[in-house]
């Protein structure tokens, strides 16, 4: 039985024929300067991007760090942004939280109830009991960091433990913890060979795949190795490559063009 | 050369003759009910606890999850709480953040500048480049999760990689990354034997040690194995055991009594 999240994901991916996730990781210093004069610049920027792209994506991912740094005001803009996303599109709260049980419950409540996410990202380092409060939200999805897209992923994730690397062991464990069909994995597009291995370990889990675009991940390999056997269950994120496509008045149109381009590049490889 | 943080830590530990950190991980459902009627209940609670204990501690640790769950209002109370802590006492923002470089910069800015921490907790999973933006704040301290106090610490932290466990490798790496003398480690009191091993790996690093009290860690072993050779550089945290010592009007006095008791138990073992 597919979970509510998986059904929602399938529905929107098919409706919009898209595996694209737009990352609304919005840095005040990089949005068009004319927006600095409006009341809620990040929200205004986000609404324009959402209006211009929502029929081309399956999901939006909001990295909470970019809003938290703006203080209480930033968090209000986070919530209002989530409210502006159409109901049938997946909302991912990219928080990468990881803490002991009684604290993780607070984070899960914040991410799913206060911030309104359909899904969240979480760190595996503290183990299963730190993830359980997130997994208790059966209708949501928890994407656990497995292999990240940054150079530092080599420091610990690639360490070998009796023939298996740490990221493989994370994938195996999360795949086993997927009793309610509400687990997912974060696997960076910058490691195509490893992405393939993780897909073999977890053939049915949804993957959140960052690292396309600014970080250099290859679209073709990401689609071939990251999707499931039906060419689905991969949410391929691009943030900077889409939202900063233009620094002018046409920023939303430019974002639409880049989103369309990525959607088509992905779909070419799916078929 | 000791860093500014290490000097501040030494100064307050000696002044107050204390290694005690009080964890202001304040759950609205557990504070005395009469406080629910005041304007900012968590802040009111915290101020009373701080007023009653600040001469007995070296640090306060605020877990951001407990404030974030209260929304923008909670984050204001977080900041006002930090503002209420005397300047010479260490303020630890317990955030356990871990994200790629450009995002980690946002988190570091939030924790050190917006929330006013002298120190922060961070996750090692994404490797060195995810920690670097925190370490760029040379006068602050970044406590990296090494061995956590929860049962799930066994899931990954104890995995053996070529004869060494993951938590040992984290300790070795962080000890090497301590070029600016601004790294620390989080090591749970619930693992005394392992605490000893980590202290051998990193003889000079400050340790933030949770797990005393509600979680069952032993004070004697924590002091013997967790402090440096001078009996210092361990910040021993108790949250629930102190702040919820009484649910009545005397909650602050009860917290003072519990803090004093813990300080004395620790100091007995130090001498």
Contact B156 A106 (CB under 8 A): no
Residues of B in contact with A116 (CB under 8 A): none
CB A179 within 8 A of CB A165: no
Kind plus residue range of the DSSP H or E element containing A93: strand A90-97
Residue with tokens 């003072």: B256
Q: What is the pLDDT of residue B215?
A: 80
- pLDDT above 90 for A162: no
Interval A60-67 mean pLDDT: 98
Instruction: At B108, give phi and psi (nearest 5°).
Output: -65, -40
Q: Which residues pair with B235 in a beta bridge?
A: B208
Q: Is A229 labeled as catalytic in the residue annotation?
A: no
CA angle B142–B144–B148, rounded 5-degree value: 140
Question: To the nearest whole angstrom, how far is the Cα of A15 from the nearest Cα of chain B?
Answer: 32
Give A169's contacts in chain B (Cβ within 8 Å): 156, 159
Q: Considering only the beta carbons, identify the residue of B68, B150, B161 that sits closest to A130.
A: B150
Asked whether the beta carbons of residue B104 and residue A65 sit closer than 8 angstroms, the reply is: yes
DSSP letter at A115 equals S
Alpha carbon A33 to its chain centroid, in Å, reads 27
pLDDT tens-digit profile of B138-185? 999 999 999 999 999 999 999 987 789 999 999 999 999 999 999 999
Give the whole-angstrom CA distance, residue B266 versus residue B271.
Answer: 9
With bands split at pLDDT 50, 70 and 90, how would you rate the model's confidence at A2? confident
Q: How confident is the model at residue A115 (pLDDT cuts 50, 70, 90)?
A: very high
Prediction ipTM score: 0.96
**Distance (Å) from the alpha carbon of A75 to chain B's nearest alpha carbon:** 7
B154 and A127 within 8 Å at the Cβ level: the answer is: yes
The pLDDT score that the predictor gives to residue A91 is: 98
Q: What are the structure tokens assigned to B266, written together?
A: 């620790």
Tell me if B169 and A156 make a contact (CB, 8 A cut-off). yes
| B215 or A42, greater pLDDT | A42
pLDDT above 90: residue A75:
yes
How long is chain B? Answer: 271
Under 8 Å CB-to-CB from A83, ≥6 apart: which residues?
A116
Q: Is B37 helix (H, G, I), strand (E, B) or coil?
A: helix
Q: To the nearest whole percent, how much of chain B has pLDDT over 90?
A: 94
Q: Which helix (H) or strand (E) holds B176?
A: helix B166-176
Which residue of the set A8, A80, A96, A249 is catalytic?
Answer: A96
The span from the CA of A97 to the CA of B95, in Å, is: 8
CA gap B18, B259 in Å, rounded: 10
Report chain A residues whose CB lies below 8 A from the CB of B149.
100
Closest residue, chain B, to A69 (C-alpha)? B110
The reply to whether residue B69 touches residue A109, judged by beta carbons under 8 angstroms, is yes
Whether the pLDDT of residue B214 is over 90: the answer is no
A101 neighbourhood in chain B, CB within 8 Å: 150
In B, minimum Cα distance to A128 occurs at B152
In chain A, alpha helices (H): 4-15, 41-53, 65-68, 72-84, 101-109, 128-135, 153-156, 166-176, 192-201, 219-226, 240-243, 251-270
Q: What is the pLDDT of residue A134?
A: 98
What residue ranges define each of the domains in chain B, with the CATH number in brackets? 4-270 (3.20.20.70)
What is the interface size between A and B, counted as CB pairs within 8 Å?
169
CB contact under 8 Å between A127 and B151, yes or no, is yes
Closest approach of chain B CAs to the CA of A231, in angstroms? 28
């Amino acid at each position: 039985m597919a979970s509510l999240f998986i059904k929602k994901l399938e529905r929107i991916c098919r409706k919009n024929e898209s595996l694209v996730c737009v990352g609304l990781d919005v840095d005040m210093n990089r949005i068009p300067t004319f927006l600095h004069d409006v009341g809620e610049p990040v929200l205004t920027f986000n609404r324009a991007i959402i209006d211009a792209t929502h029929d081309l994506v399956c999901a939006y991912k909001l990295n909470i760090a970019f809003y938290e740094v703006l203080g209480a005001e930033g968090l209000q803009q986070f919530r209002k942004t989530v409210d502006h996303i159409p109901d049938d599109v997946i909302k991912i709260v990219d928080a990468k939280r990881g803490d002991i049980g009684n604290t993780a419950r607070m984070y899960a409540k914040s991410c799913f109830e206060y911030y309104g996410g359909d899904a969240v990202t979480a760190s595996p380092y503290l183990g299963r009991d730190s993830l359980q409060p997130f997994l208790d939200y059966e209708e949501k999805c928890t994407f656990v960091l497995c292999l990240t897209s940054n150079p530092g992923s080599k420091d610990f994730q690639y360490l070998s433990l009796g023939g298996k690397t740490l990221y493989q062991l994370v994938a195996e464990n999360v795949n086993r913890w997927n009793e309610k069909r509400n687990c997912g994995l974060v696997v960076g597009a910058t490691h195509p060979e490893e992405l393939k291995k993780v897909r073999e370990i977890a053939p049915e889990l949804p993957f959140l795949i960052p690292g396309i675009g600014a970080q250099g991940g290859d679209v073709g390999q990401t689609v071939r190795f990251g999707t499931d056997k039906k060419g689905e269950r991969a949410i391929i994120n691009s943030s900077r490559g889409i939202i900063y496509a233009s620094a002018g008045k046409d920023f939303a149109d430019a974002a639409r063009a880049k989103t369309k381009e990525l959607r088509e590049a992905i779909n070419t490889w799916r078929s």
